[in-house]
């Protein structure tokens, strides 16, 4: 089968053996397409000759179960998975037993960190074990296209961040007292803004790219530079975004960090945090419950993911990466 790997800093399409269930329980999934995540690009940018052979690329998968040897229902499903099911999935699951899981920090769990799909979403076939099937795999609803359903995992990451901010989906009366700003309107920023809006907060978005600022208006979202914000979601990977956040955050506000930046020594000012009683917290990756909420949001139309991604073939993955870096597209959707 074809599979994209990183070699000498470049994307190479190589031939690998198709995974089988000969000595394992779970399912073989024929990948139909995989979204290109910003984290894939971060991995590529930070790769070294020593670690690039350990880098797994691609995880926003939509595919078809072509072999399965276990009888397992996904979260909230009425029937077990079977051959022919079109699915989307998350790529990690927690142990639910360790200290981190007990504290709700599922993505810090060692099991979570070591449970990636094999060999990666930019491959024609992948293996998903029983725990993946039970905790991260969802069957495609009839009202969604495969392309729309590929947003299951990235949207779940955004939902995790919204929950971390303190917004509670069933408490719209309280949520509408918050002014929330998404700082950075790439594909994740667009998903984040819609998720926040679905929770009921007053939602705003800003980007230095005028086209993206105009695009977000399609979702009823704009920017008001004359107010302070109770919640700021950092979806921009630029150093100067931190300065913007500190300028726009209100007293007692929260800054939710949802992106890495190039400079490890750039941060938030201690005295600003102290005197304004600010909360600065990170949000990294979703739990199974976040994946389930993402599934419901997509199925019920709470979040619109049409016209966000641009299609590329696997052979043109490098072009998709470069176009993303240069801001020519919001998101790459790699068809296999």
CATH number at residue 49: 3.90.180.10
pLDDT digits (tens, 9 = 90+) for 164-189: 999 999 999 999 999 999 999 999 99
CB atoms < 10 A from the CB of 109, how many? 23
In sequence order, which residues have a C-beta less than 8 Å from that of residue 240 and are 6 or more positions away? none
Q: Are residues 194 and 319 in the same domain?
A: no
pLDDT digits (tens, 9 = 90+) for 63-121: 999 999 999 999 989 999 999 999 999 999 999 999 999 999 999 999 999 998 889 99
In order of 29, 36, 185, the CA distances from 155 in angstroms are: 21, 13, 14
Confidence class for position 213, pLDDT limits 50, 70, 90? very high
User: In the chain, how many domains are there?
Assistant: 2
293 lies in a domain?
no
Q: Are residues 132 and 33 in the same domain?
A: yes
Q: Are residues 250 and 177 in the same domain?
A: yes
84 lies in a domain?
yes
Q: Are residues 58 and 87 in the same domain?
A: yes
CATH number at residue 210: 3.40.50.720
DSSP 118: B
Q: Are residues 189 and 103 in the same domain?
A: no
Mean pLDDT of the region 117-139: 96
More confident residue, 6 or 199: 199
161 lies in a domain?
no
Q: Is the pLDDT of residue 265 over 90?
A: no
Q: Are residues 170 and 145 in the same domain?
A: no
- Tokens 């899981």, residue? 101
160 lies in a domain?
no
Range(s) of the domain holding residue 194? 166-282
What is the C-alpha separation between 82 and 97, in angstroms, rounded?
Answer: 29
Mean pLDDT of the region 20-24: 93
pTM value > 0.85: yes
Q: Are residues 29 and 121 in the same domain?
A: yes
Confidence class for position 271, pLDDT limits 50, 70, 90? very high
223 lies in a domain?
yes
Closest alpha carbon to 135 in 162, 109, 164: 109
Q: Are residues 263 and 327 in the same domain?
A: no
The two beta strands, 229-234 and 249-257, are parallel
Q: Are residues 229 and 322 in the same domain?
A: no
Q: Are residues 174 and 276 in the same domain?
A: yes
CB atoms < 10 A from the CB of 88, how many? 28
Q: Are residues 273 and 310 in the same domain?
A: no
């Amino acid at each position: 089968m074809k599979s994209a790997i990183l070699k000498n800093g470049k994307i190479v399409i190589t031939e690998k053996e198709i995974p089988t269930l000969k000595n394992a329980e779970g399912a073989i999934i024929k990948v139909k397409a995989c979204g290109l995540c910003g984290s894939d690009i971060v991995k590529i940018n930070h790769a070294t000759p020593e670690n690039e052979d350990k880098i797994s690329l691609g995880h926003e998968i939509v595919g078809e179960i072509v072999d399965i040897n276990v009888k397992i229902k996904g979260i909230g499903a009425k029937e077990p998975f079977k051959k022919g099911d079109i699915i989307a999935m998350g790529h990690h699951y927690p142990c639910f037993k360790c200290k981190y899981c007990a504290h709700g920090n599922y993505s810090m769990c060692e099991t979570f960190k070591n449970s990636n799909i094999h060999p990666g979403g930019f491959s024609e076939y992948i293996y998903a074990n029983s725990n993946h099937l039970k905790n991260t795999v969802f069957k495609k609803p009839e009202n969604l296209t495969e392309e729309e359903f590929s947003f299951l995992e990235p949207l779940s990451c955004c939902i995790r961040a919204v929950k971390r901010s303190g917004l509670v989906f069933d408490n719209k009366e309280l949520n509408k007292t918050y002014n929330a700003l998404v700082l950075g309107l790439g594909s994740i920023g667009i998903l984040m803004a819609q998720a926040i809006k679905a929770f009921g907060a007053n939602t705003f978005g800003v980007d230095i790219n005028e086209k993206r600022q105009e695009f977000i208006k399609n979702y009823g979202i704009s920017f008001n530079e004359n107010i302070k914000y109770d919640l700021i979601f950092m979806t921009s990977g630029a150093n100067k975004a931190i300065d913007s956040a500190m300028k726009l955050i209100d007293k007692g506000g929260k800054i939710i960090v949802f992106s890495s930046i190039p400079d490890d020594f750039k941060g938030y000012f201690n005295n600003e945090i102290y005197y304004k009683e600010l909360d600065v917290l990170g949000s990294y990756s979703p739990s199974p419950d976040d994946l389930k909420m993402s599934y419901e949001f997509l199925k019920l139309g709470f979040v619109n993911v049409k016209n966000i991604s641009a299609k590329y073939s696997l052979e043109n993955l490098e072009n998709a990466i470069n176009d993303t870096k240069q801001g020519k597209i919001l998101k790459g959707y790699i068809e296999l």
